[in-house]
Structure 1
Amino acid sequence: MTTPAHSTRTTNLEGAARAAIAGGAPLALLIALGMPGYAAFAMFAGFTAIFGATEPYRQRMVTTGIAGLLQAACMAAGIAVSMSGAPLWLQGTGLVVVLVVAVCTLSTLQTIPAQPIFPVFAFCVSALVPVRPADLPLVATIIVGSVVWAWLVAMSGAVIRLVLHPRAPHVFRPIAPHKHRSFAVLRTPALWETVGLNVVGALVAGAVAESVPALGHPYWAVVAVVSTLPAIRQRHTVRRASQRVIGTIGGTVVAVGILLLEPSAWWIVVIAVVGQFFAEIFVARHYAVTLLFLTPLALAVSWLSLPEAPELLALDRIAQTTLGAVVSVALLVVGRLIERRRGRALGATGAIRTV
């Protein structure tokens, strides 16, 4: 008997549903308990379920577990910086450590996504959320509980497949081949060139953003750089940087329109779930469209933890993202000059083209 062809629609729907449930359930629980100020921690923990989405489940178990530990560690580091008064030098030092650890970890695991955007985002925002020593047990419980929940959601497909796959194999996404991982990647020049580009780009973008007195949220420029720079052996393109700016502008307009209506916390939960779901639907197809959904999610949940005027959020988001994209493109130009001089590609600007 011929097996029905796998539907391309279900390829994204399966992972999108898991991502939305992983982040949405802890967020809804916090709202129900009257603790919206901790929403950012639940959101960053929920990103755990994104990693390893197409891997065989035995390998996914490891990938998702390590990604969850990485997210939790970055939030813990950010909280430590916040409790110390968040001096600029400590934020910069912490950012460098997070970038080195995240790039090395994600490159070794060969994860998708491979860029350190989620660990960096988790660290930067956690460093700004005010946390008192008395709050630490509660915050730790939220982070650990949300990470464990996201891991369980990510692994839930194994049980569902066991029961339903024999009856309707065409409904499920294909599982990718087993990845052959090795710590040898940590000894390659390409990896450390990738680390260096991320560190230089993040520090330059952060320093410039911090020096502009009229703007806030300098970490958005940092996030824009690390999300635009390619992973090891991927191609750095102006196209991705421009899509980042275009998608962010569109997503910010949507987010501000929503926040000006002063939505209740429960509407923020709906926005987060819908945003995460459709971001996963489009992430493999078009980066700018992905950001139309991801930007309102990020701004709305951040607004729950750190309420601000939507108009100021919009100005900062667009300006800082543009700044980060400019820094990223500048690194591309410098990288091309270095490549021409030495006759071979840099680690992060190799032969594979990034969308």
Structure 2
Amino acid sequence: MTTPAHSTRTVNLEGAARAAIAGGAPLALLIALGMPGYAAFAMFAGFTAIFGATEPYRQRAVTTGVAGAMQALCMFAGVGVSLAGSQLWMQAVGLVLVLVFAVCTLSTLRTIPAQPIFPTFAFVVSALVPVKSADLPLVATIIVCSVVWAWLVAMSGSVLRLVLHPRAPHRFRPLAAPKHRTLAILRTPALWETVALNVVGALVAGGIAETIPWLGHPYWAVVAVVSTLPALRQRHTVLRAFQRFIGTIGGTVIAVGILLLEPSAWWIVLIAVIGQFFAEIFVARHYAVTLLFLTPLALAVSWLSLPEAPELLALDRIAQTTLGALVSVALLFVGRGIERRRGRALGATSAIRTV
């Protein structure tokens, strides 16, 4: 009997559905309980389900578990900074520690996504959410339960495959081969060049953003840099920075149009679910299109935790993303100059192309 070819129509649908459910269910529960101010914690915990999406389930259990612990630790670090007054030097020190930890963890896991965008985003926003000491048990419960939920959702496909795969194997996207992992990567110069690139880029972008008095949300410049810079052994290209710039502008226009309508919290939940679903659909195809969905998701959920005028959000988002992209491109040219002088590629800018 001939085995049906894998259906291209279902590629990414599994991962997209899991990502949407992982973040959407805790967010909906918080809204139902009248606690929209904690929405950001549920969103960042939900990103746990994104990691290791194509891996065999035994390896995925480890990848998603470690990634979930990473997300939780970064949120706890941010909450700690918030409780201590969220001073700028605390944010900077915390950011450096988070970047070192995240780049080392993700590089060791060899996971996708490889850039430290989600742990960095989790830290910088958590450091700004106003949290009181009395709220700490509740916040910790939300974070831990949301991460555990995301892990369970990520692993739910193993049950579906066990039951349904023998009957209709072509309905499931094929899994990748197991990845070889070793802690020896932590001793390589390439890894620490990648760490240095992210730390320098984040501090430069964040420092410049802080000096511009008419702009807020300097952490968006930081997020723009770390999401654009290459992961270990990836090549830094101007194309990715340009795609982020174009996608962010389009996504911001969509988000502002939605927020100007003053949507209820339940509409925000729907926006988050739809945004996460389609971001996962397009992430492997086109980065700019991905941001058309991811940007409204991030802005809308952040707006629940930190309500602001949509027009100001749009101005800050576009300006800070532009700043981050420019810093990223500047680091590209500096890195290429170093490569030419020493005759070999930086660990962060080898022959693999990032788009």
Normalising to structure 1: TM-score of the pair? Answer: 1.00
Deviations 1:269-325 (A, max 9, x none): 000000000000000000000000000000000000000000000000000000000
Size of the aligned set, in residue pairs, is: 355
Which residue in the other structure is 1:15 paired with? Answer: 15
2-side partners of 1:203 and 1:329: how far apart? 15
Deviations 1:153-206 (A, max 9, x none): 000000000000000000001010010100010010000000000000000000
Which residue in the other structure is 1:265 paired with? Answer: 265
Alignment of 1:159-178 (within 5 A): 159-178=159-178
1:237 to 2:237 alignment: yes
Alignment of 1:204-223 (within 5 A): 204-223=204-223
Match of 2:200, as an amino acid?
A: V
Secondary structure of 2:12's partner?
helix
What residue ranges of structure 2 are gaps of 5+ in the alignment? none
Match of 1:242, as an amino acid?
A: F
Alignment of 1:40-189 (within 5 A): 40-189=40-189
2-side partners of 1:279 and 1:267: how far apart? 18
1-side partners of 2:180 and 2:229: how far apart? 24
1:10 deviates by: 1.1
Match of 1:115, as an amino acid?
A: Q
Secondary structure of 1:233's partner?
coil
Match of 2:134, as an amino acid?
A: A
Normalising to structure 2: TM-score of the pair? Answer: 1.00
1:2 deviates by: 1.1
Which residue in the other structure is 2:226 paired with? Answer: 226
1:338 to 2:335 alignment: no
Query: Identity of counterpart residues, as a percentage?
Result: 86
Match of 1:263, as an amino acid?
A: P
Match of 1:112, as an amino acid?
A: I
1:5 deviates by: 0.8
Match of 1:292, as an amino acid?
A: L
Secondary structure of 1:235's partner?
coil
1:279 to 2:291 alignment: no
1-side partners of 2:129 and 2:43: how far apart? 13
2-side partners of 1:101 and 1:90: how far apart? 16
Which residue in the other structure is 2:350 paired with? Answer: 350
Match of 1:84, as an amino acid?
A: A
Q: Please report the RMSD computed on the Cα atoms of aligned residues, expressed in angstroms.
A: 0.4
Match of 1:49, as an amino acid?
A: A
Secondary structure of 1:236's partner?
coil
1:9 deviates by: 2.3
Which residue in the other structure is 1:196 paired with? Answer: 196
2-side partners of 1:31 and 1:4: how far apart? 44
Deviations 1:78-121 (A, max 9, x none): 00000111111110000000000000000000010000000000
2-side partners of 1:137 and 1:93: how far apart? 25
Deviations 1:54-92 (A, max 9, x none): 000000000000000000000000000001111111100
1-side partners of 2:6 and 2:269: how far apart? 32
1-side partners of 2:305 and 2:89: how far apart? 24
2-side partners of 1:253 and 1:175: how far apart? 36
2-side partners of 1:5 and 1:265: how far apart? 42
2-side partners of 1:171 and 1:246: how far apart? 34
1:11 deviates by: 1.7
2-side partners of 1:88 and 1:139: how far apart? 23
After TM superposition, where is structure 1 displaced by more than 3 Å over at least 4 residues in a row? none
1:317 to 2:317 alignment: yes
Match of 1:306, as an amino acid?
A: L
1:254 deviates by: 0.1
Secondary structure of 1:217's partner?
coil
